[in-house]
Amino acid sequence: MKIVLASRNQDKYKEIKDILKHTKVELVSAEEFNVPEIIEDGATYFENAKKKAFYTSTHTQLPAISDDTGLEVFALGKTPGVYSSRYAGKNASYSDNVRKLLREMQGKTDRRARFVCVCVLCFPDGTFYQTRGEIRGIITKEPIGRGGFGYDPVFYIPELKKTFAELSLEEKNKISHRAKAFKKMAQLIEKLEPEK
């Protein structure tokens, strides 16, 4: 099934394409269809993901898939949450967001956090499906590792004794919140395909 990824983030596209490589999904980027930028103004991950998927599906007349992902830090009241990508401002870079997070975490003893991903698949007729994935970890006191993107250098997984940024793409895509949500969606698509 040909599905458009409703995102302009090429790091995310690369990661999701790798997650779905052994499935029946043929993932194409929204860039190929000149889909206009979609403002993420929802109050929840689901609202943002659905808005992007629905708009992209309507624009391309193809099934579209989207996710909204956030880092929830318990000591900060589960922020940045839906504002994770713009935590340090509208045009913040990955490192701007990480710097702000580490500043906010100074002096905090509770460093527990989780990544949450909500994935939505939408068809041009408005039919949609959603899945969710999460992984728990700890916020480090400084960035560690050179891989990944976003908050990966400060998200430490105790069981692996590594941050996301120290994992290969293959390792990360076995355990991550996004991998869990998209693998569930791939299983759902397997069941849907005869109908659609």
Q: Which residues are catalytic?
A: 68
| Closest by Cα among 114, 160, 165 to 137 | 114
195 and 3 in contact (C-beta within 8 Å)?
no
Q: List b or e across 69-105, with b for residues whose CB sees 16 or more CB atoms inside 10 angstroms.
A: bbbbbebbeebbbbebbebbeeeeebeebbbebeebb
31 and 90 in contact (C-beta within 8 Å)?
no
| Closest by Cα among 128, 156, 119, 145 to 20 | 119
> How crowded is the C-beta side of 8, counted as CA atoms within 13 Å?
10
Alpha helices (H) along the chain: 10-19, 45-60, 94-104, 169-175, 177-192
